[in-house]
Amino acid sequence: MLRQLFAVIAGVLMAQVAVGEPLALVPDALIDGVSDTLQRDHAVIVEGERIVAVVPTGDLPVDIERLELSGLTLMPGLINGHEHPLIYGDDYQNAHLSGSSAYKALLGLAALQGMLHHGWTTVRVMGDADVFFANQDIARSIREGVHEGPRLTGAAHYLSITGGGGDVNYLSPEQSVVSDGYIVDGSDEVRRAIRREIKYGSDWIKILVTGAFHSVGDNPMNVAFSPDELAEAVAEASRHNVPVAAHAHATAGINQAILAGVRSIEHGTYLDDRSIELMVEHGTFYVPTIYVGDFYAGSDLLLAQDKNDDVYLDYRDEWLRRIGKAHRAGVKIVAGSDLGGYNMDPRAYAREIAVFEEAGLSPMAAIKTATSVAAEMLSWQDRVGTIRAGLLADLIALPGNPLSDLSLLENPSFVMKGGAVIRQSPAADTE
C-alpha cells in the first residue's frame, strides 16, 4: 500500500523503483540545486537508489521510516568537474615516472573514496598521469560493486603535443620515457588517440590546447595544437558522441577551442570579452579551477613553481573579475578542483566552490556550479545534480546553512550515494 502511495506521489512507475522500503530524510533545510532559495519543512523520500518524492514534512505518511537530519541542510551530492585521482605527488611528473599504473590505481581509489566521504558523489576525470587506463578500471570495479566510490566519468589521458603540457620536457634527448600525457602530433595521431581513448572507456576527450602552468618546459601562453588538429579532435569525438574538454590558458587557444566546438573550457585563465561572448553563443561550459593555484601559491612544492606564482600572486584578482563578468553574461560555470588525489586533504576540494563567491557569484550560484550546472555539463541532469523525483539519491547534509558559510561544504555530516548511506554523523537518528 505504501509503495503504491509513493509511486503516485512521485509520478514514477513502480517498475523503476528498486527494492527497499521508502525512507524519508527529514532535514532542517533543503537546497535542491536549482531553486534560488533554501526551503524549510520539506522531506525527501528515497526508495531503492532513487529519490521518489519531495514533500512538505507535514504530509509524510505517519508510518514511514524517518531519518532525522536535525540541524542539517540537505542538498544534492557534489559533482567535481575536473580531477586527476591518480596524481599523488606535488611534483606529479616525477611521481608519474616512478609509479606503475596499478600503484596509481590503488592510491587513486583511496583518493576517490576520500572524495566520496566528503560529499563528492560524481567526479569527472580530466585525463590523468597514467600510461594505461587505471581510472576506467576503478570505475568498472565501482560499477560492479567491488569497491565503494563516486560515479566516474571523463578522459583516461590528456592529449598533448610533443613538448606540450603533457610531455616530460626536462630529460635529456637521450632518455626515452612514456610521458604523463598522451603525446600526439598531426591529425592522424589525434584521430587514432581518440579512437583508443574511447575504445578503453573514456567518455570525454581531454586535449591540452595550450601549454600548462604546473608542467615543466612549456608555455601556457602558447597555443599547442594547430587549428586542423583541434578540428579533427572535435570531429572525431563527435562522431562517437563523446564531448571534448579543452585545457586552455592563452586567449587565442580559448577562443579557437570554443569555435572548434569543445563542450568545456578548462582553466580559461586569460579569457577576454570575446571568449565570454563565444562561450555564451556556443553554450560552452567553463571550469576555471582557481583554488589549485591558491593552494600552491608561494610554496616550493612544484617543479614549475614560478609559472604558478606568476598567475596566482599577480593576476588572480583580474582573473576573478573576468570570471564574475562571464557569470553575469550567462556563461555556465562549473566547479573543478584540479588538486589531484592521494596527497590531498579531501576537505580541500570544496574550496573551489567558495572561491567563486570572491568572483562575485552568490553562494547559491556557487553551489550550483557543483550541482545542477555541473550535471548539465555532463548531460547527466536526469540522473544527478538536483533533488527531484526520479533522480538518483545522491545526497549530502551539512551541519548548518552553507549559504552563510560555504566552508561547510568541505566536510558533510551525511553522505548518500544511490540510496546507500556512505557516511553519517552520530547526530542523525533513524526512528
* Strand pairing category for 42-47 and 50-56: antiparallel
Main-chain phi, psi angles of 302, to 5 degrees: -95, 150
Give me the DSSP letters along 138-168. Answer: HHHHHHTTSS---EEEEESSEEE-TTSTTS-
With left for phi above 0 and alpha for psi between -120 and 50, is residue 264 left, alpha or beta? Answer: beta
By beta-carbon proximity to Zn ion, the closer residue of 50 and 96 is: 96
Distance CA(352)–CA(370), nearest Å, equals 9
Distance CA(288)–CA(330), nearest Å, equals 15
Distance CA(304)–CA(285), nearest Å, equals 28
- Residue 127 CB, nearest approach to Zn ion (Å): 7
- Residue of 81, 241, 88 whose CA lies nearest to 150: 81
In the stretch 328-347, what mask flags binding to Zn ion with x, by CB under 5 A?
----------x---------
- Residue 267 CB, nearest approach to Zn ion (Å): 8
Distance CA(321)–CA(337), nearest Å, equals 19
- Residue 84 CB, nearest approach to Zn ion (Å): 6
- Residue of 267, 253, 189 whose CA lies nearest to 221: 253
- Residue 231 CB, nearest approach to Zn ion (Å): 23
By beta-carbon proximity to Zn ion, the closer residue of 203 and 338 is: 338
In the stretch 123-152, what mask flags binding to Zn ion with x, by CB under 5 A?
---x--------------------------
Distance CA(110)–CA(101), nearest Å, equals 14
- Residue 110 CB, nearest approach to Zn ion (Å): 19
By beta-carbon proximity to Zn ion, the closer residue of 256 and 337 is: 337
- Residue 86 CB, nearest approach to Zn ion (Å): 12
In the stretch 247-276, what mask flags binding to Zn ion with x, by CB under 5 A?
------------------------------
By beta-carbon proximity to Zn ion, the closer residue of 126 and 333 is: 126
By beta-carbon proximity to Zn ion, the closer residue of 250 and 393 is: 250
By beta-carbon proximity to Zn ion, the closer residue of 49 and 338 is: 338
By beta-carbon proximity to Zn ion, the closer residue of 151 and 249 is: 249
- Residue 259 CB, nearest approach to Zn ion (Å): 22
Number of residues near Zn ion (by CB under 5 A): 2
User: Is 167 near Zn ion (CB under 5 A)?
Assistant: no
268-273 long-range contacts, CB within 8 A, separation 24+: 269/213, 269/220, 269/311, 269/315, 269/319, 270/221, 271/322, 271/323, 271/326, 272/322, 273/325
- Residue of 191, 209, 216 whose CA lies nearest to 92: 216
* Strand pairing category for 23-30 and 39-40: antiparallel
By beta-carbon proximity to Zn ion, the closer residue of 130 and 338 is: 338
For Zn ion, the binding residues in 107-126 under the rule CB under 5 A are: 126
Q: Which residue of this chain has its Cβ atom nearest to Zn ion in the complex?
A: 338
- Residue 338 CB, nearest approach to Zn ion (Å): 4
The answer to whether 44 touches 74, Cβ cutoff 8 Å, is yes
- Residue 140 CB, nearest approach to Zn ion (Å): 23
By beta-carbon proximity to Zn ion, the closer residue of 152 and 392 is: 152
Binding site for Zn ion (CB under 5 A): 126, 338
